[in-house]
Amino acid sequence: MSKIKLAILALLFAGVSSGFALCMSFVHYATWEFVPPDAFQKFQQASAIRTVPVAIALGISSLVLTLITAIRGLPNVPRSVIWIAVILAAIPWIATPTLNTPDSGEPRHRGPGK
């Protein structure tokens, strides 16, 4: 695959991955207030079965394609710019476990009414 085609594929995966993240932020998380507190745990489990695999597939694909693009380089594009894209693509993989790791054994986000 040519360097340009690989970069376009990486850009497409990054765009779809970003769109998915925006949808989760503005649509999915916004529905939490409508879930009764006693049903929130079941809602989260049912939702996670569907959303987490999609997020992982899109995010990992985007990160790997961006990394390959950075290693191979692009004509007339400084490598530093591409490596910045790799770092930006890696941020969710660093932030997610960091933000969701409890300090005291209690989950940080317990849902509505908790």
Q: What is the pLDDT of residues 16-68, one digit of tens each?
A: 888 888 888 888 888 888 889 898 889 888 888 888 888 888 888 888 888 88
Specify the pTM. 0.66
In a domain, 110, yes or no: no
Check: CB of residue 55 under 8 Å from CB of residue 24: yes
pLDDT at 108: 53
Residue 88 lies in a domain: yes
Q: Which residues pair with 74 in a beta bridge?
A: 77
Q: What is the mean pLDDT of the chain?
A: 81
Q: Angle at Cα 19 formed by Cα 30 and Cα 75, nearest 5°?
A: 155
Is 29 inside any structural domain?
Answer: yes
Q: Supply the range of the domain harboring residue 44.
A: 3-100
Q: What token pair was written down for 93? A: 């993989």
Question: Is residue 112 situated within a structural domain?
Answer: no
Overall number of domains in the chain = 1
| Residue 30 DSSP one-character state | G
Q: What is the pLDDT of residue 106?
A: 54
